């Protein structure tokens, strides 16, 4: 696709533009039909979807750059932070709301970099992650000019504690673990890693962008969940996206710290220009108020019982998917996933060729180097039988792989 669009000489009527947009939008991924995984977390509840849309529209034009001009937005932001911090186990004022997981990770990395410089006197701190950490960490290292030390994970897909320990040195400024990691859905041994970091006075970040809003309920349903949150003594920061399993629309993630003192490394105050004191709590300047209001509405509409109900649904679909895959010759689930996302790899069959058949049948599965990525939302309960039938058929009847590359994201 390319564009040579120019600004139209004369404005076009609203109804004409809406009709054009509707036509084009119909060509986009069909997430409402349960055919998308990971890009959208489909609750499958019309009332919930409509509520957050309405709230988004009400706040579409408001700018949270100066929250004190919008007391209603300020209150909602403080509420979302307090509710999220409570879920993760830290003080209600020890977090901030950012635009997404990547921004939350950038902020936690920046806090750790400045903490290492200011408190520990390390001029050039390093960022230490397992190889399964989200690319946002590599991107943060690039943008914040830090050396990224990456350690291969073990055969179980989890961070290798001994190898991570061996990589910790004088310059380590932040150690990272995921709960869970995106590629395999496994939780790293956070307790061990955070303990090693704490012994050395090094900060530790749990990337719970995916797990932050589902693991607490998963545990409450009686599942054994490997420790990952602030109950683990060495964990000093956590990212947890409300726009993933919090079921808000895009643009809302929580970054939380063990103390408000740590969070303060993130704040920015500047008065060396003629425009007066400029203060901001995250990397954005102008911020849309809509995702703040949407997150507030999503959390309050679902409540603890709503999250438990949806998590139960996701758990049942996950179990059904995993049992179904175990019964299909030629494919298997990679590793032992801890929650509702995992990789499907080939077990004698060519997984890339199976992926081609699934593509042809309209399933949008992300491709990884080792297989296909599956991430389940509540709505997938409606389509999981069809999915498994198609997967079984694809495993039994597929041709040569078309060689589709493993990709995630895109640049225009």
Ligand X SMILES: Cc1ncc(COP(=O)(O)O)c(C=O)c1O
Residues that bind ligand X (CB under 6 A): 100-102, 134, 136, 178, 182, 207, 209-210, 241, 253
Q: Which of 66, 144, 149 lies closest to 102 in space, CA to CA? A: 144
Strands (E), 266-407: 268-270, 278-280, 331-333, 341-346, 366-367, 372-375
Q: How far out from the chain centre does Cα 372 lie?
A: 18
What H or E segment, with its residue span, contains residue 354? helix 351-360
| Nearest-CB residue for ligand X | 101
Yes or no: say if 243 and 251 are a contact pair by the CB < 8 Å rule.
yes
Closest distance to ligand X from the beta carbon of 101 (Å): 2
Query: Is 115 within 8 Å of 108 (Cβ atoms)?
Result: no
Least Å distance, CB 385 to ligand X, is: 26
* Closer Cβ to ligand X, 209 or 352, answer by number: 209
Least distance from ligand X to the Cβ atom of residue 288, Å: 15
Give the separation between CA 105 and CA 123, rounded to whole angstroms. Answer: 21
Name the minimum Å distance from CB 231 to ligand X: 20
Distance of closest approach, residue 102 Cβ to ligand X, in angstroms: 3
**Helix, strand or coil, per DSSP, at residue 273:** coil
The answer for 157, left when phi > 0, alpha when psi is -120 to 50, beta otherwise, is: left
Q: DSSP for 2-27, please give it.
A: -------SS---HHHHHHHHHHHHTT
Contact 113, 107 (CB under 8 A): no
Q: Alpha carbon of 144 to those of 114, 254, 330, 334: distances in Å? A: 11, 20, 44, 34
Pair of tokens at residue 285: 């300047």
Residue (129 or 253) nearer to ligand X, CB: 253
Kindly state the smallest distance separating residue 42's Cβ from ligand X, in Å: 15
Q: Work out whether strand 268-270 and strand 253-257 pair parallel, antiparallel, or are unpaired.
A: unpaired
Residue placing its CB nearer to ligand X in the complex, 104 or 390: 104
CA distance 170 to 257: 23
State which residue, 107 or 357, has the beta carbon closest to ligand X. Answer: 107
CB nearer to ligand X: pick between 207 and 338: 207
Q: Which is nearer to ligand X, 113 or 243 (CB)?
A: 243
Q: How far is the CB of 184 from ligand X (least distance, A)?
A: 11
- In the complex, the smallest distance separating the C-beta of residue 137 from ligand X, rounded to whole angstroms, is 8
Minimum CB distance to ligand X smaller for 185 or for 355: 185
Angstrom distances, CA of residue 213 to CA of 65, 185, 253, 331: 26, 14, 10, 30
Q: Return the number of the residue (127 or 209) whose C-beta is nearest ligand X.
A: 209
């Amino acid at each position: 696709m390319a564009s040579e669009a120019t600004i139209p000489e004369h404005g076009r009527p609203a109804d004409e533009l809406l009709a054009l947009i509707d036509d084009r939008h119909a060509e986009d991924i069909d997430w409402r039909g349960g055919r998308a995984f990971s890009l959208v977390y489909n609750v499958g509840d019309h009332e919930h979807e409509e509520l957050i849309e309405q709230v988004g529209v009400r706040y579409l034009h408001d700018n949270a750059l100066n929250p004190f001009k919008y007391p209603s937005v300020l209150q909602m932001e403080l509420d979302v932070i307090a509710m999220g911090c409570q879920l993760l186990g830290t003080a209600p004022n020890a977090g901030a709301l950012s635009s997404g997981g990547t921004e939350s990770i950038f902020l936690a990395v920046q806090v750790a970099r400045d903490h290492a410089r200011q408190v520990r006197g390390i001029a050039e701190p390093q960022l230490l992650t397992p190889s399964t950490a989200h690319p946002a960490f590599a991107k943060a290292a690039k943008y914040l000019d830090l050396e990224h030390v990456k350690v291969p994970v073990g055969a179980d897909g989890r961070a290798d504690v001994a190898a991570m320990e061996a990589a910790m040195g004088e310059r380590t400024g932040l150690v990272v673990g995921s709960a869970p990691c995106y590629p395999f859905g496994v939780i790293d041994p956070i307790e061990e890693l955070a303990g090693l970091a704490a012994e050395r006075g090094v900060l530790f970040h749990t990337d719970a962008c995916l797990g932050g809003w589902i693991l607490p309920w998963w545990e409450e349903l009686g599942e054994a969940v490997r420790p990952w949150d602030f109950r683990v003594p060495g964990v000093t920061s956590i990212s947890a996206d409300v726009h993933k399993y919090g079921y808000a629309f895009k643009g809302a993630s929580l970054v939380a710290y063990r103390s408000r003192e740590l969070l303060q490394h993130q704040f920015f105050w500047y008065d060396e220009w003629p425009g007066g004191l400029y203060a901001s709590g995250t990397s954005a300047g102008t911020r849309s108020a809509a995702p703040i209001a949407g997150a507030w509405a999503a959390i309050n509409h679902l409540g603890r019982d709503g999250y438990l109900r949806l998590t139960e649904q996701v758990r049942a679909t996950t179990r059904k998917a995993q049992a179904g895959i175990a019964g299909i010759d030629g494919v298997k689930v990679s590793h032992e996933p801890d929650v509702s996302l995992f990789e499907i790899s080939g077990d004698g069959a060519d997984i890339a060729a199976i992926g081609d058949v699934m593509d042809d049948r309209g399933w949008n599965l992300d491709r990884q180097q080792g297989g296909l990525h599956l991430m389940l939302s509540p709505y997938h309960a409606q389509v999981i039988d069809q999915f498994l039938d198609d997967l079984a058929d694809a495993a039994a009847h597929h041709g040569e792989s078309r060689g589709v590359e493993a990709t995630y994201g895109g640049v225009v």
